[in-house]
Amino acid sequence: GEILIESYSKTSENHWLLQEYIPARGIISLDSLGISLNLADIYEGIDFNLNS
């Protein structure tokens, strides 16, 4: 299977919002911190092969 990142954040209406990311693609935004992170950079050099 593919590795999936789940990010939960609370909305202004006090509801939880789920966003899902695939590590090799996408940018995760952490609005409460005012930053965005490139997932490929975060996981560079990490082997997600679960069989090794």
- Indicate whether this model's pTM tops 0.85: no
Percent of the chain with pLDDT over 70: 83
Task: Assess if residue 21 is contained within a domain.
Answer: yes
Task: Assess if residue 9 is contained within a domain.
Answer: yes
Confidence category of residue 14, pLDDT binned at 50, 70, 90: very high
| Residue 23: domain span | 5-42
Task: Assess if residue 10 is contained within a domain.
Answer: yes
Confidence category of residue 17, pLDDT binned at 50, 70, 90: very high
Task: Assess if residue 51 is contained within a domain.
Answer: no
| 50 Cβ contact partners less than 8 Å away, ≥ 6 residues apart | none
Total domain count, the chain? 1
Task: Assess if residue 32 is contained within a domain.
Answer: yes
Task: Assess if residue 15 is contained within a domain.
Answer: yes
Q: For the segment 22-43, what is each residue's pLDDT rounded down to a tens digit?
A: 766 788 888 889 999 888 787 7
Return d(Cα 7, Cα 2) in angstroms, integer.
16
Q: Answer yes or no: is pLDDT of 52 > 80.
A: no
Task: Assess if residue 47 is contained within a domain.
Answer: no
